[in-house]
Amino acid sequence: MAQYLEDLVVGEVCHFGHYEVTREDVIDFARKFDPQPFHLDDEAAAKTHFGRIAASGWHSGAMSMAMLVEHFNAVGHQGLGSPGIDELRWLKPVYPGDTLRLTWEVLEVTPSRSKPDRGSIRTRTEMFNQHDECVMRILARSMVARRV
Amino acid sequence: MAQYLEDLVVGEVCHFGHYEVTREDVIDFARKFDPQPFHLDDEAAAKTHFGRIAASGWHSGAMSMAMLVEHFNAVGHQGLGSPGIDELRWLKPVYPGDTLRLTWEVLEVTPSRSKPDRGSIRTRTEMFNQHDECVMRILARSMVARRV
């Protein structure tokens, strides 16, 4: 099974992923990459709008990627990497104990004009918690191989 | 020493950070969050435009955050978190063995109209490797406390 550029349908929304956020993972990630008090310490976080320890936004992005790649592997997605993100919004805090899932929608499919073996897509990824609140939204671009 | 909203100067560019990218860290991060072949396996990466194992883009973002927070701590930056990113571009691959640094520029400073104790900033963060190539550029927003 393989998913090439030609197999991606604009407007189709895929639902997938199940990611349990642990306190240990949140603190480990924050210690290594984002040691701000509200990611590490409950007392410090209580004084902010987070209320208690919340995951680093980069950790949220990385967790969404973990679910995305699991989905890509399941469908044989022929991804070639990404040139970037057009917009990312951290809409709600992600807390230890949360269970996350994704929706992923293809917004645009564009065959490359110079390279016949590939094309680019624009996508909207939304991450939801167990209360069905959207905690993060990402509009991204990526490259996908064509069935040549 | 503390850096509040009032202390941030539009147009000022700060240079800081020294981050050595190890092969072990690149593979560890990719295994956990982004297990695509070009982040894990030299042979698979050789068949792509990466040429060899390259860091996950989310790992690059996280490494930039590590340097940013180190700088924030050094200057006593009174950050309150970020609502999101307006644009992120992965311009060049980040490879094991690279040494990274940042430039950070404040583009806009806006006191909150509803909350007198804070405001928001827009920033441009650029990450460079040891060849002075810009490998990533991020336009972001964040909240900063005011000196009240």
Three-state SS letters, chain A: CCECHHHCCCCCEEEEEEEECCHHHHHHHHHHHCCCHHHHCHHHHHCCCCCCCCCCHHHHHHHHHHHHHHHHHHHCECECCCCEEEEEEECCCCCCCCEEEEEEEEEEEEECCCCCCEEEEEEEEEEECCCCCEEEEEEEEEEEECCC
Which residue in A29, A34, A82 is closest to B57 by CB distance? A82
Q: Distance (Å) from the C-alpha of residue A148 to the closest C-alpha of chain B?
A: 16
Query: Which of B37, B47, B136, B41 minimizes the C-alpha distance to B93?
Result: B136
With CB atoms and an 8 Å threshold, state whether B62 touches A56. Answer: yes
Residue B148 has a pLDDT of 78
Its ipTM equals: 0.96
Q: Listing from the earlier edge strand, what are the strands of the sheet with B13-20? A: A13-20, A99-111, A118-128, A134-145, A84-90, B84-90, B134-145, B118-128, B99-111, B13-20
**Which residue ranges form the domains of chain A, and what is each CATH number?**
5-145 (3.10.129.10)
For residue B104, what pLDDT band results from cuts at 50, 70 and 90? very high
With CB atoms and an 8 Å threshold, state whether B62 touches A29. Answer: yes
Percent of chain B clearing pLDDT 70 (strictly above): 100
The strand pairing partners of A87, in sequence order, are: A139
Which residues of chain A make contact with B58, given a CB cutoff of 8 A?
58, 61-62, 65
With CB atoms and an 8 Å threshold, state whether A87 touches B83. Answer: no
- Return the number of other C-beta atoms located less than 10 Å from residue B59's C-beta: 25
Q: What is the phi-psi region of residue B98: left when phi exceeds 0, alpha when psi lies from -120 to 50, beta otherwise?
A: beta
Which residues of chain A make contact with B92, given a CB cutoff of 8 A?
none
Q: Distance (Å) from the C-alpha of residue B11 to the closest C-alpha of chain A?
A: 23
Q: Distance (Å) from the C-alpha of residue A15 to the closest C-alpha of chain B?
A: 19
Cα B70 to the chain's mean position, in Å?
A: 11
Which residues of chain B make contact with A35, given a CB cutoff of 8 A?
69, 73
Q: Distance (Å) from the C-alpha of residue B70 to the closest C-alpha of chain A?
A: 8
Which residues of chain B make contact with A38, given a CB cutoff of 8 A?
81
With CB atoms and an 8 Å threshold, state whether A61 touches B63. Answer: no
Read off the pLDDT of residues A74-99 as tens digits, 9 standing for 90 and up.
999 999 999 999 999 999 999 999 99
The angle formed by the CA atoms of residues B54, A95 and B69, to the nearest 5 degrees, is: 50
Query: Which of B62, B81, B22, B84 minimizes the C-alpha distance to A59?
Result: B62
pLDDT at residue B49 is higher than 90:
no
Residue A87 has a pLDDT of 98
pLDDT at residue A148 is higher than 90:
no
Residue A49 has a pLDDT of 87
Residue B41 has a pLDDT of 92
User: Which structure tokens are listed for B48?
Assistant: 């792509």
